[in-house]
Amino acid sequence: MPYMDITEFDEIRPYHDDELPQIFEELIADPAFQRAASLTVPNVPFEVVADKMRDCKTKRDFQVAFCYGILKKIANDYTDGLTLNSDVDLEGEKAYTYISNHRDIILDAGFLSILLVERGLDTVEIAIGDNLLIYPWIKKLVRVNKSFIVQRALTMRQMLESSKRMSRYMHYTINDKKQSIWIAQREGRAKDSDDRTQDSVLKMLAMGGDGTAQERLAKMNIVPLTLSYEYDPCDYLKAQEFQLKRDFPEYKKTTQDDLRNMEVGMFGYKGHVHFHVGKCISDDILAMDFDKKASRTELFARVSQLIDRTVHLNYRFYPGNYVAYDLLLDTDEMSDKYSAQEKETFLKYVEKQIAKIEMENKDETYLHDKMLLMYANPLINNLRLKK
């Protein structure tokens, strides 16, 4: 392997453990971080928080001392439990690139980390867009929490160079550091829950490493990961965004909207949350047969389809998914999967969520259909594969 100057990653990588003391002192001295810490761990004097931070010698120490407790409390207070199935040996030596469908800005990777910590396993490094890092203290905090930065607001030329560097970093992380990674299958969340891998994600992964594009993807040890939330607390915000984009084609979310989505996603009721880790698809990628005229575009499309197939087949369904399917398609095909009480509970939930939407020219029928679509689409995609 050619010599790699790992200092090129300094701008985007998580902090090294020996950098933590200085970063902790910078955070402790930041009034904005002090306010955020006081809100997150109320009734605990900030001096106690600061001393506990200084006791952390590694990023994992910090995650266990702070992040695990906060995320565990969110899971206890706002879910009916987290579960995990895995088709790969999580306790083995191999590092994986978990590519998952995307529901929550913070909790998708956060809940995965809880489940790994509870099994005595290492946590993952997390890809996070810099559009969410609106304050300096947030950027520092996520890098303490084993996140690496995906740069977004760049020119086309800058974006290409940034993508190449991030790909080199991810290859280095998987193959040299032997550290697993989590990345969403697409930029942003699938608002309608029609989960599809963007080919651009795979194109980025194939920019780093050695060999053909096929071999480079295989070396990333890609594992499709399916997240199944019983309820999405942001569903009404997503429905509202659909109508805003319908009525105002130029509409774009603001930073304030992103912050509201983060808050609602974290502190809204989610019901049961299930993670299914699929099998590693490296061998499947290498086994793909291409004729000499086949393009890289075909490779990325076929790998995307493979990831999507695994994600769709590994969904866990709840009564609301079946109710939404029947109502949206005007059928009773799934009526044996839910009771009358479960149907009533889901319909009341949808009505309550839509009632939270405050906007001019509120189109209740349109919003109701969009809400049903969000809960029906995972089942629609699953059934399509089984026919």
Angle among Cα 163, 180, 214 to the nearest 5 degrees reads 55
* Contact predicate 273/111, CB 8 Å: yes
The pLDDT score that the predictor gives to residue 71 is: 93
Lowest-pLDDT range of 86-90, 187-191, 286-290 = 187-191
* Contact predicate 307/115, CB 8 Å: no
pLDDT at 270 over 80: yes
Residue 128 vs residue 231, higher pLDDT = 231
pLDDT at 301 over 60: yes
pLDDT at 3 over 60: no
Q: Which residues pair with 149 in a beta bridge?
A: 128
The pLDDT score that the predictor gives to residue 1 is: 45
The pLDDT score that the predictor gives to residue 294 is: 66
Query: What is the per-residue DSSP string for 87-143?
Result: SS-TTSS---EEEE----TTHHHHHHHHHHHTTTPPPPEEEEEGGG--SHHHHHHHH
pTM: 0.93
Domains of the chain listed by start with CATH number: 6-19+57-233+268-316 (3.40.1130.10), 320-386 (no CATH)
R_g (Cα) of the chain, nearest Å? 22
